[in-house]
Structure 1
């Protein structure tokens, strides 16, 4: 870490609208006085809400945190499609949603709940033959993206507002990593025959980190609140406390016997409570994913 820079840990930011996730990382580098800053799970510029930022050694946690379940509050507009599947894009088709009954809407939502196969949006950061899809889409190229398995754990309609040919549907959604809420909006509209796109998105949760613990950039500029590494790991993953001998093994990158705490990452803590490592259990052994002690 650079001299005078902040400790290692996580910062849960309430991202403002019209900022990219990279913009937030840039701001946090200045606040924390270090280049070692990253984020877990990109949010589109239009979206607001929980963006988990890692500082220092905590950047090595981010890939594992990005794979946890996420929660969103969204507004889906039925009656128009866009080329980005959200309000940032241009309207490509419009068809009245006035005749869509509440029962049909509920059935459409139910069909998009549970394990589904989802084609990502044309304008997305997914790579096709080494090039990002959004760059190809901007050149006018048709991008052939493959459907991917994702899980929508919950898709609850919290409000329905009808205005002429349009319907605005408010929803709370919890889903697996890699789920595009824009694609849910697109697919709901397609199934109802009227088209749909996302007009509002607020991420409420990434794993255990939610809006209650999130801070605006203005507040963080006044006081930089960093969740220490040990607390961050204990909140997100199962905890394993080990003996002095086991701690020495882990600190040198060695393996431990499995303790039946997997399938995902497990936080390993020394007898004095220091975070040692993240490990992953494979069969009878626990292999290090990341070791944090020098």
Structure 2
């Protein structure tokens, strides 16, 4: 029997890939139909959002949500991956580090806050001519990635700590999807003239989902997925529909003249039984589905009879 569809929040440990977590979840839930929204590097810990069964269709709408990270940056040392997993490619001398003032750090952080242009790390998962950038980098090939616009709505840095290798900063970042915290570390170090890289990274929030509500990987066997209707309402907002409207949407029909009920944007259409019908949007004066979940009325039991 297939497990219930839903979303599971996992607190990923360091040293695991996101695919490792998915593999563990597939064993725990007894299904291969599991995906994740937003990769975390092996070095990183924190919130990984998994979709189970039909709820994998909702991950498309989770991936683009804004996120919060807690991180540690080491100024004074650069690496080829912009994080601690890479090879050291440069070290600043003591005189250069001594010249970095708290005011200069604050100015550098401010310059990386707001709408900024960012070049992703060369070992990111971005595809270049059909291949992942990190695969090209590991093969020794030159990787040239184009800058992209991202939004860093908060970049808070704690007090600077002078350590033997350089200057450590604990930071909290709220940012749009597609922002690379490693690149922030690299660019802050470059702006200060001493280089820098990321030494720790923890994702604590994805949209309305918090790591405080997540389970550890070793507790996946007892995890209860969040039902699709709750997820859809949190991510997109809720549109209640009648049983007749739910049937029409599931059959691919439009709700004629109903677009004023949406208020713009996408909404999660939820039927009187509290089940997620799908995701809808306005098309002219109508409401139309852009994604539907399987119709529970068509589910069958093991005998082939309606269940």
Q: Matches of residues 98-177 of structure 1 in structure 2 within 5 Å?
A: 98-164=98-164, 166-177=166-177
SS at match of 1:173: strand
**Structure 1 286/181 Cα, relative in aligned 2: closer, same or farther at 3 Å?**
farther
Give how far 1:139 is off: 1.8
159-168 vs 201-210, which moves further? 159-168
Question: Is contact 2:228-2:275 (8 Å) kept?
Answer: no
Aligned-CA RMSD value = 1.5
Per the normalisation by structure 1, the TM-score is 0.94
2:65 maps to which of 63, 68, 75: 68
Q: TM-score, normalised by structure 2?
A: 0.90
Q: How far apart are the structure 2 equivalents of 1:283 and 1:193?
A: 54
Q: State the shift of 1:40 in Å.
A: 0.3
Task: Say which is worse superposed, 135-144 or 42-51, in terms of deviation.
Answer: 135-144
Q: Which has the larger radius of gyration?
A: 2
Structure 2 vs 1, CA of residues 201 and 281 (structure 1 numbering), >3 Å: closer, same or farther? farther
Structure 2 residue aligned with 1:31: 28
Alignment check: 8 A CA contact 1:241 1:268 kept = yes
Aligned length: 289
Q: Which residue of the partner structure matches residue 181 of structure 1? A: 181
- TM-aligned CA deviation for residue 286 of structure 1: 3.5
> Which of 59, 83, 92 is 2:89 aligned to?
92
Shift of 1:197: 0.4
Instruction: Report if aligned partners of 2:77, 2:165 keep a CA contact under 8 Å in 1.
Output: no
Instruction: Determine if contact 1:57/1:292 at 8 Å carries over to the other structure.
Output: yes
Distance between the aligned counterparts of 1:273 and 1:165, measured in 2? 56
Rounded to whole Å, the distance in 1 between the matches of 2:159 and 2:227 is: 38
Equivalent pair of 1:275/1:293 in contact (CA under 8 Å): no
What runs of 5+ residues in structure 2 fail to find an aligned partner?
296-307
Give the corresponding residue for 2:191: 191
Measure, in 1, the Cα distance between the counterparts of 2:19 and 2:235: 23
Which residue number corresponds to residue 15 of structure 2?
18
